[in-house]
Amino acid sequence: MKFVFVNRFYAPDDSATSQMLTDLAAAMAATGSEVHVVTSRLRHDAPSASLAPRERIDGVDVHRVWSTAFGRAGTAGRALDYLTFCVAASLRLWQLARRNDVVVAKTDPPLISVPAAWVARLRGARLVNWLQDVFPEVAAVLGVPLARGPVGWLLRWLRDGSLRHAAANVVVGQRMRERVAALGVDPARVAVIANWADGSRLRPVDRESNPLRAEWGLRDRFVVGYSGNMGRAHEFQTVLDAADALHGRADIAFLFVGGGAQRATLAAAAAEQSLPALLLKPLQLRESLEWSLGAADVHLVSLLPALEGLVVPSKFYGIAAAGRPTLFVGDPDGEIGAAVREADCGYAVQRGDVTALVAAIEGLRGDPALRDRMGHNARRSFEARWDKPLAIAKWGTLLEGVARAC
């Protein structure tokens, strides 16, 4: 069987979508399948870097096509990065795809499913869409003008066609499944496979022996952490207000590790509100993720309620693997809010409910036994539902089924 994956980033890039695709592609290659990845020559955190055009990694043939490299500096530049990659990736996909091959298109860049569907149909291949988000609806919620009106309608029409004609559409949450099915996609062709973390590499670590706590001056403090992308989909004002309310608590620190569109906003707000207990650190390498996640006593996850069903914050799975409680800020009945409640591994609070967030932080700070119990619950639920081997097995079953149906 031959599989061709398409995504803008791949190993050695360490972004979330890259890591999961790298895990899956390598696992499929290990079964003896022929596996190709069409990706860019870029790294998400270093657009000026240029990776090798061709490489073989863990049995996977990696084809890196040229695209512009403006990065995240501006909307126009990012759009051009998307467009040039879509064109170049489609041409390479045309060269690679053959009858009965399975093409798997992720959602970076947005709408890559549209040209992938055209190529797959003309080449006689089968298309599987892997939706990490639902675009252009996400952009419309975030106020991007072109995602609304006639242009937005056209983009949705093109996108919907690529979903309806796919052999399968894999989404990362039940709410997202409902959203996609509501677009007129056959529910039988929409499968839920949640994102994951690697539980063999990411395990609970003792806070006292964690070198990063000493290096970052956090040894004796209760640390409320946030790890990963600080993007526009995430809500931080509630967190900032909670940090301000706890301003006099020298024993509590807020640690933000990562980057994204709102990182500068967080830094500016911390300076304006004189919040010395709010620390910002750069994105850590995957090899040190165990230590950076373990540096916090409890972790924050946030999502704008209007984006429920359109986005699922995958950072939650790494937090659960690390055996730490989660404080979710958003819709308590949403995908992550419900998971936190069902696993009894933290608290979910409404956006803007600063009082509830402060109470949750103080409660966990003052009750180590509660903290430990919720951390154990998180890891136990992770091992039962979100560990890498479980997700890879589901993916393997789905992809083999699509291939055999050809």
pLDDT recorded at residue 73: 64
Average pLDDT over residues 11-28: 94
The three-state secondary structure class of 160 is: helix
Residue type for position 67: S
Stretch (H or E) spanning 301: strand 298-302
pLDDT recorded at residue 83: 93
pLDDT recorded at residue 260: 86
Confidence of residue 405 (pLDDT cuts 50, 70, 90): confident
Tell me the pLDDT tens digit for each residue of 93-150: 999 999 999 999 999 999 999 999 999 999 999 999 999 999 999 999 999 888 889 9
Tell me the pLDDT tens digit for each residue of 354-377: 999 999 999 999 999 999 999 999
Indicate whether this model's pTM tops 0.85.
yes
Tell me the pLDDT tens digit for each residue of 377-391: 999 999 999 999 999
pLDDT recorded at residue 113: 97
> CB under 8 Å, gap of 24 or more: what pairs does 141-147 form?
141/304, 141/306, 141/307, 141/310, 142/232, 142/233, 144/75
Task: Please provide the average confidence, as pLDDT, over all residues in the chain.
Answer: 94
Identify the DSSP state of 212. H
pLDDT recorded at residue 341: 97
Query: What gap in Å lies between CA 156 and CA 383, rounded to an integer?
Result: 37
Tell me the pLDDT tens digit for each residue of 160-204: 999 999 999 999 999 999 999 999 999 999 999 999 999 999 999
pLDDT recorded at residue 353: 97
Percent of the chain with pLDDT over 90: 80
Query: What gap in Å lies between CA 45 and CA 394, rounded to an integer?
Result: 30
pLDDT recorded at residue 213: 93
Tell me the pLDDT tens digit for each residue of 285-313: 777 889 999 999 999 999 999 999 999 99
Reply yes or no on whether the pLDDT at 8 is more than 70. Answer: yes
Burial of 200 per CB tally in 10 Å (0-12, 13-18, 19+): exposed
Domains and CATH numbers, the chain: 2-196+387-404 (3.40.50.2000), 207-385 (3.40.50.2000)
